[in-house]
Amino acid sequence: MRRPASALLGGLAAVAVLAAPAPVVAAEPEGLVIGTVLPDTGELSEYGRGTQAAVLLAVQDVNAAGGVGGSKVTLVPGNSGGTGDGGSGDKVFARTVQRLLGKGAQALVGPLSSQLLLDNLSAVQGLPVVSPAASSDRLDGKVFRVVPAESLQGGLLGSLAVDDGVRRLAIVARNSSRGVAREAAKVARAADVSVRIVTYADRTDRIEKVAGEVAAYRPDSVVFAGGPETGPLLSALVKKGIPTRLYFTAAAGDAAAAERELPSRTLEGAQMVSLDLRVDDYFAEQLMALDPRVKEMEFSPQAYDAAVIIALAAEQAAQSGPITPEAIRDNIVSVTKDGRACRSVATCLTFISLGEDIAYVGPAGELRMKSGGSPSQARYGVSTFGSGNKPTGRPRYVTWPASS
């Protein structure tokens, strides 16, 4: 039965259930239970406090607007540990998920690491999982996320090259970034640009061979979608005659800027694309009021939106039946697109109670999730390198693909 709009009013404090060693939890919570698997420890722990605080803020906002299904939302925080790849973080993550399930969690926010999720998909099978930061293309259709799949930026990189009038583009990518290469090539080829893709193993020792393959193609421009190996690869290309038009993903650009062997002005005019992770002042003030010890706020808006999306999906499910993990999962995509835009939790909940379709727009911006659970567009910063081989000035921010 659909509950009346008046039931959405009133202020209810968020119930935060603290982690080990002695968690305090309301017995048999009646409403929606959201768990977090965010990095309190491990390589990404600098983001842990901010993202945990953001989820708590989201739950407080939901409960202040009347909760979900007529009941307050319960939050059960948990530690995701490290970044996966067979390390100790995998064990921490698995233990945390089991603890959260024991506390009745129906949906999870986190983790930040793609590899950690890929290593532990079996541990979260059947649960709606919304990650604030995991961007691997291999996760598409397996989890939901508030950041786009890595490959989305490839189209923007290809578009930048096309706008510069390039005619012969080489795209050099790690195997794990093949999606970036494909998207960049698609945009470039649509503009009748000749394209050659050169890929290599993520942990490669084939720097000279890769550089030789690129040079043999005689490109007038190169897109780089790699990691730390991008610096040595650039140095090898300089010796073979590197083009002047260069384009980088964020990881590749950072590696290029750190390469000390490059002659000055090698990267002048090159462009680097990175996800827009700016945090507006109002949101930052809210986080600091909740936890003054928060220092790093990147991915906190995304964590807030992840929790809100779960709550809105649960509320939408409650209009026609019980709130279950399956029902939440089935409603997540639809609350982000093709409906009436709403920017506050209270407004979105009211619209749902009135039977309206919604398109939630939160601190992280528009999502418009595709059926696979990834945003169909995102905002990126485009930085330009100066004569000192470093990005200069402020990035210019663009939405890709551009809204029609």
Q: Which of 245, 132, 225, 186 is nearest to 401 (CA)?
A: 186
Q: How high is the pLDDT of residue 204?
A: 74
Q: How high is the pLDDT of residue 141?
A: 96
Q: How high is the pLDDT of residue 85?
A: 65
Q: Which of 127, 124, 132, 160 is nearest to 148 (CA)?
A: 132
Split at pLDDT 50, 70, 90, the class of 27 is very low
- Would residue 218 be called left, alpha or beta, if left means φ above 0 and alpha means ψ between -120 and 50 degrees? left
- Please state the rounded mean pLDDT for residues 298-304: 98
In angstroms, the Cα distances linking 332 to 74, 153, 209, 275, 336 are: 19, 23, 46, 23, 7
What would the pLDDT profile of 335-385 be if each residue is shown by its tens digit? 999 999 999 999 999 999 999 999 999 999 999 999 999 999 999 999 999
What would the pLDDT profile of 54-81 be if each residue is shown by its tens digit? 999 999 999 999 999 999 999 999 999 9
Q: Which of 33, 50, 13, 43 is nearest to 301 (CA)?
A: 50
> Is residue 16 scored above 70 in pLDDT?
no
- Please state the rounded mean pLDDT for residues 126-131: 97
> Is residue 197 scored above 50 in pLDDT?
yes
Q: Which domains does the chain have, with CATH numbers?
A: 5-147+299-360 (3.40.50.2300), 152-276 (3.40.50.2300)
Split at pLDDT 50, 70, 90, the class of 205 is confident
Please tell me whether the peptide bond between 23 and the residue prior to it is cis, using omega within 30 degrees of 0.
no
Q: What is the CA radius of gyration of the chain?
A: 23
> Is residue 128 scored above 60 in pLDDT?
yes
- Please state the rounded mean pLDDT for residues 5-31: 40
What would the pLDDT profile of 86-103 be if each residue is shown by its tens digit? 666 688 999 999 999 999
Q: How high is the pLDDT of residue 23?
A: 35
C-beta separation of 220 from 167 below 8 A: yes
CA dihedral for 297, 301, 303, 308, sign (positive or negative):
positive
With residue 126 as reference, give the H or E element that holds it.
none
Q: How high is the pLDDT of residue 25?
A: 38
The residue type of 63 is: N
> Is residue 17 scored above 70 in pLDDT?
no
Q: How high is the pLDDT of residue 291?
A: 97
- CA 391 – CA 50 distance, rounded (Å): 27
- Please state the rounded mean pLDDT for residues 220-240: 96
Q: How high is the pLDDT of residue 88?
A: 62
- Please state the rounded mean pLDDT for residues 97-114: 97
Q: How high is the pLDDT of residue 90?
A: 81
What would the pLDDT profile of 244-253 be if each residue is shown by its tens digit? 899 999 999 9
What would the pLDDT profile of 34-54 be if each residue is shown by its tens digit? 999 999 999 999 999 999 999
Q: What integer best gives the mean pLDDT of the chain?
A: 91
Extended beta strands in 120-163, E state? 129-131, 144-145
What would the pLDDT profile of 281-293 be if each residue is shown by its tens digit? 999 999 999 999 9
- Please state the rounded mean pLDDT for residues 310-339: 97
